[in-house]
Amino acid sequence: ENSGVLILFTNSLSGQIPSTLFQCTSLIEIDVSQNSLTGPIPADISKLQHLQTFLTHQNESRGSTFGNLSSLLQTDMAFNQLSGTIPTAIGSLSQLQRLSLAYNRLS
């Protein structure tokens, strides 16, 4: 059973999200909101085939990757530094129920 949960919100974390985090393939929820995380979200997030919730709002992330996150139910990436176009991969997230990309620089 996949039931791993990682909650690290409001911990004054800084720097990039380490790609080694995504080796924990049993994770179903990650919350790293309200920190000072920078840089892109590592492409290795696509290894988390069972991830249902990914919350990273109020950071300074600059990129977004949705890869093969077919189990994703909700993601909140509001109040970051995302720019460019909204990734077309969002359209393939058939389970997605909640998506927040507010207060970014997306077009």
To 5 degrees, how large is the angle CA 49–CA 77–CA 97?
60
Fold (topology level) of 4-106: 3.80.10
pLDDT tens track for 18-49: 888 888 889 999 999 999 999 888 888 888 99
The rounded distance, in Å, linking the Cα atoms of 6 and 32 is 8
Q: Please state the domain extents for the chain.
A: 4-106
48-93, pLDDT tens digit by residue?
A: 999 999 999 999 988 766 667 889 999 999 999 988 888 888 888 8
The model's pTM: 0.89
Q: Which two tokens stand for residue 37?
A: 């995380």
